[in-house]
């Protein structure tokens, strides 16, 4: 019998394989999910399965309360983070999580990534936010669920829109990115890693590097995302 979630699971598999192909994953340290809003479920990589062995039939489908709807394997340990973000942010269609090297280094440094150049400004107009370290009581509690709460609170405190800023660093942990679909979330994860590396190199070359001028930030963002956008590569 063909699964009603066949296309969803295939989308999820393809996106997970792309995350690995782009060099954003070491061993099994990462995951991508794809949501089906009509059925209020999402597909996610199973926990601990090597990418070279991953198939569409391995992908697990869960609802927004983290109940397995389809699949024989255990869903990713980060499933509760994904589910709460889907619940709260209604317009995202996919989420990626990775421990890519430069993104993770910034997360471990508990630093926002400053906007130094136009590569950054082509994608967002703000620094890339990093959450504060998780409080002990939250670590001892529902850890993965509370990771999503960290993200949500950071965006609320900094008055950032998840529709514009589709990426975040979780302090001491790694990155989460999202988009209108799973493939866009992977794209954003790779962009985040590139920006993280460029910012690291910038500060090594010039510890006093200046933030990009506001006029350049707005120009580069608008020409790609504005009402009269015209830029594409």
Instruction: Indicate which residues carry an active-site annotation.
Output: 122, 231
* Strand order across the beta sheet in which 167-170 lies: 68-70, 60-63, 41-44, 30-36, 94-98, 174-179, 167-170
CB 176 within 8 A of CB 96: yes
Residues forming beta bridges with residue 94, ordered by sequence position? 34, 179
| Burial (Cβ within 10 Å: 0-12, 13-18, ≥19) of residue 22 | middle
Contacts of 179 (CB under 8 A, 6+ apart): 92, 93, 94, 166, 185, 187, 188
């Amino acid at each position: 019998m063909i699964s009603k979630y066949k296309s969803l699971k295939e989308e999820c598999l393809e996106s997970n394989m792309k995350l690995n192909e782009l060099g954003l994953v070491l061993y099994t340290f990462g995951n991508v999910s794809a949501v089906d809003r009509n059925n209020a479920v999402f597909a996610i990589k199973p926990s601990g399965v090597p990418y070279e062995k991953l198939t569409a039939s391995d992908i697990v489908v869960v609802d927004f309360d983290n109940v397995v709807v389809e699949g024989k394997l255990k869903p990713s340990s980060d499933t509760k983070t994904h589910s709460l973000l889907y619940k709260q942010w209604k317009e995202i269609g996919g989420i990626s999580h990775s421990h890519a090297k430069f993104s993770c280094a910034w997360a471990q440094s508990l630093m926002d990534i400053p906007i130094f150049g136009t590569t950054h400004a082509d994608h967002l107009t703000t620094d890339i936010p990093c959450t504060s370290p998780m409080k002990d009581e939250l670590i001892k509690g529902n850890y993965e669920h509370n990771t999503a709460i960290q993200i949500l609170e950071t965006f609320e405190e900094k008055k950032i829109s998840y529709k514009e800023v589709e990426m975040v660093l979780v302090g001491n942990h790694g990155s989460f990115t999202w988009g209108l679909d799973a493939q866009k979330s992977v794209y954003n994860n790779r962009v985040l890693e590139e920006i993280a590396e460029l910012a690291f190199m910038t500060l090594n070359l010039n510890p006093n590097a200046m933030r990009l001028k506001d006029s350049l930030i707005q120009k580069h963002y608008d020409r790609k995302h504005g009402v009269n956008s015209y830029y594409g590569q």
